Amino acid sequence: MNLSLKILSFLLVFAANASASDYEELSWYDLMPADWTPYAEEEDIFARHDESAPAMPFIQQEAPVVPALNKKKIRLPGYVIPIVYKDDAVSEFLLVPYIGACIHVPPPPSNQMIYVTLKDPLISTSLWAPVWVNGELKLESAETEYARTSYRMDGASSELYEY
């Protein structure tokens, strides 16, 4: 193998690894300001989907965002609430922290949902499967039939979450 081919091979491998590491893996807690409490009883926001948990008052749909996250490249796991889809291909959806958010219960606060448009549609036979989403997070609201979001990702990529 000549030197230029070796260099090209190295650069391709390096570029692939660099692009994967360009995304900072976040948790849903990272999307909430540290000093903000989503519920009056200061309950864990993710306990809401557990039907055995006591009912918690829903304080607000509009919720504060974390300005430092604007235009940050992130990687976040979550669940899909389809908005634009055809058969088993979803191209726009709400990314939410737990299964069934927005459908069977009041929606999570707006800072706990992301409106996602994908560069390439997500193909899945099970919309209840968790996914990873990679993309640039924007502090931009979106209104859907299910809820209002405080964050948005356009041209994102996604993949099924592997346990």
- Residues 3-160, CATH architecture: Beta Barrel (2.40)
Predicted model pTM: 0.76
Task: Supply φ then ψ for residue 44, to 5 degrees.
Answer: -65, 125
pLDDT value of residue 46:
55
pLDDT in tens, 91-134: 999 999 998 887 766 788 999 999 999 999 999 878 788 999 99
Tokens 């006591």 -> residue: 54
* pLDDT confidence of residue 91: 96
Q: Which of 54, 150, 153 is nearest to 108 (CA)?
A: 150
CB atoms inside a 10 Å sphere around CB 80: 23
Tens digit of pLDDT for each residue in 55-100? 444 444 579 999 999 999 999 999 999 999 998 899 999 999 998 8
